[in-house]
Amino acid sequence: MSIDPQLINKADEKFTYDAIVVGAGVIGPVLATALSRKGKKVLIVERDWSEPDRIVGELMQPGGVRALKELGCVQAINNIEAWPVTGYTVIYNGESVQIPYPYKQDVKPVEPLKDIVFDGNDKVLNDKTVTIKQFEENERESGVAFVHGKFISNLRNIVAKESNVTRLQGNVVEILKNKSNEVVGCKVDIPTRGKVEFHANITFVCDGIFSKFRKELSPDYVPTTGSSFVGMSLYDCKVPNKYNGHVILGENHMPVLVYQISPKETRILCAYNSPKTPQDLKKWMVDSVQPCIPKEIRPSFDEAVKSGKFRSMPNQYLPARQNDVLGLCVIGDALNMRHPLGGGGMTVGLNDVVLLMKKIGDLDFNDRETVLDELLDYHYDRKSYDSVINVLSIALYSLFAADSKNLKTLQEGCFRYFQRGGDCTSLPVQFLSGLCPRPFLLTKVFFAVALYAIYINFERRGALGFPIALVEGISILITAVRVFSPYLYGELIG
């Protein structure tokens, strides 16, 4: 790995920065850029600045696109062959229903942040796949999918242009604290320079899902892992609906996600209900996944299985914890994770940056006590959107992975609910797309789905089966409460 000397030698250990940002994935560069535009002197540290190669963070919901607009970084989706996403197609036992993203008039307008947005940097540019017509002039909201590494490289190019930002390549090995246990910076192991201490008024930790430093908030702050995804790249794949993400469901298989990420490449993610993936992935793909794949996708799917280039990722859950350590702010997946089925990770993280800028962007970071007070408020203010996206992801996975009779009934009820159209699709997709931060409305809709599933079961049982349907209905409702309520309580109250 060749290293640009500028990424090593410009960082000054004798200078106290306003902020140090640990990690340059999705959140780090955007955060450092926003801080820089607010006049802060920022050091951003990344272990490896070369283009990453990962299968996470490839589909961004409209809520994430809007946050990029508010932060003046939306042009990061330009010139990387990014693929517009206009909604979802849900396929259940061969039947399908399309769910388009919401109309712009039905959600609040984008609010560009002062000092951060200027010279049209909140608008996309025209390129081969991204158009102003689609993202700026369309009556509906748009999401976007892309090759993860290319998107990250664009974000890093944006932050590299900021005069107030110093980039550093090295491995952060320690969060530095003073005698009062307050964070004062970090120690970085730098090629050719060794271990060097850097100081700042506040240190932002955004080192992702495998964060080494989230435990600075608490020793027991660790995620849980209940399932995993196995991914493949499909090439020249003909999907059922060109600009849709596809969710493939069925009574006899785990959920499968399919979405195009470039003109040539389509990502398929196959859920597996265990943290450890099957030992023989090819056999599992053929026996358990292949039968549910739509006929349009089968040729490219079969070719991908034959090549055997499988990649897996754990699905982790981590409810957010208060940033209550003076001089420290943990953000992004280091702070908060949810099931990736809903594609909400980048949306939550980027909206966290938007909220942070509103809370502390104009503060003097030397006033560390005031900054900490605002970070404590930030924890509660973010609950409105993060609880909706997080709880929805867990609830949907429980229904879509349905491993019990009651969950299978709820799964079918959910699909039949979508088939009704109108508010039965427009409201759920507002939650999914990160555009309706109303947790109690989500509760109402979720239990409307549960009651509809119970109603369908009553219809199926008929008049003679009423007593059985009544007992089953109570059991289904209890299952719905168990699936939904603990996570909502944990997100809002925990």
Is it the case that residue 2 has pLDDT exceeding 70? no
pLDDT at 315 over 70: yes
Distances (CA, A) of 240 to 172, 361, 467: 45, 44, 42
334 has pLDDT over 60: yes
pLDDT over 70 at 168, yes or no: yes
For residue 174, what are the β-bridge partners? Answer: 187
Q: What does each C-alpha distance from 98 to 63, 87, 92 come to in angstroms?
A: 19, 7, 12
* Residue 431 token pair: 């939650």
At residue 409 the predicted structure's pLDDT band, cuts being 50, 70 and 90, is very high
Instruction: Supply the DSSP string of 299-336, one letter for each residue.
Output: HHHHHHHHHT--EEEEEEEB------STTEEE-GGGT-
Which residue type is seen at 130?
V
> How would CATH label the architecture of 6-81+108-124+148-221+318-382?
3-Layer(bba) Sandwich (3.50)
Percentage of the chain exceeding pLDDT 90: 97
- The H-or-E segment that residue 228 falls in is strand 224-235
pLDDT tier at 5, thresholds 50, 70, 90: confident
Average pLDDT over residues 472-480: 97
CA pseudo-torsion sign 367, 372, 373, 377 = positive
Residue 461: CB atoms within 10 Å: 16
| Neighbouring-strand partners of residue 8 | none
Per-residue confidence at 333, pLDDT binned at 50, 70, 90? very high
User: Average of pLDDT values for 410-433?
Assistant: 97
Which fold is adopted by the domain 224-317?
Answer: D-Amino Acid Oxidase; Chain A, domain 2 (3.30.9)
Instruction: Residue 477: count other Cβ atoms within 10 Å of its Cβ.
Output: 17
Q: pLDDT, tens digit, for every residue of 232-246?
A: 999 999 999 999 999
pLDDT at res. 494: 66
- Do 6-81+108-124+148-221+318-382 and 224-317 show the same overall fold? no
User: pLDDT tens-digit profile of 28-86?
Assistant: 999 999 999 999 999 999 999 999 999 989 999 999 999 999 999 999 999 999 999 99
Q: Answer whether residue 1 shows pLDDT above 60.
A: no
Q: How far apart (Å, rounded) are the C-alpha atoms in residues 97 and 391?
A: 23
Q: pLDDT category, 272, cuts 50, 70, 90?
A: very high
Strand-pair category, 311-317 with 224-235: antiparallel
Q: Where are the domains of the chain?
A: 6-81+108-124+148-221+318-382, 224-317, 386-492
What integer pLDDT is reported at residue 6 of this predicted model?
A: 79
Asked if pLDDT for residue 216 goes beyond 60, the answer is yes
Terminus-to-terminus CA distance in the chain, angstroms?
A: 43
In this predicted structure, the answer to whether residue 270 has a pLDDT above a threshold of 60 is yes
pLDDT at position 244 is 98
Q: Let me know: does 207 contact 23? Beta carbons within 8 Å.
A: yes
* Long-range CB contacts for residues 419-425, cutoff 8 Å, separation at least 24: 419/97, 425/97, 425/99
pLDDT at residue 373 in the model: 97
Taking only the tens place, the pLDDT of each residue in 92-140 is 999 999 999 999 999 999 999 999 999 999 999 999 999 999 999 999 9
Mean pLDDT of 337-362: 97
Residue 354 CA to residue 441 CA, distance in Å, equals 23
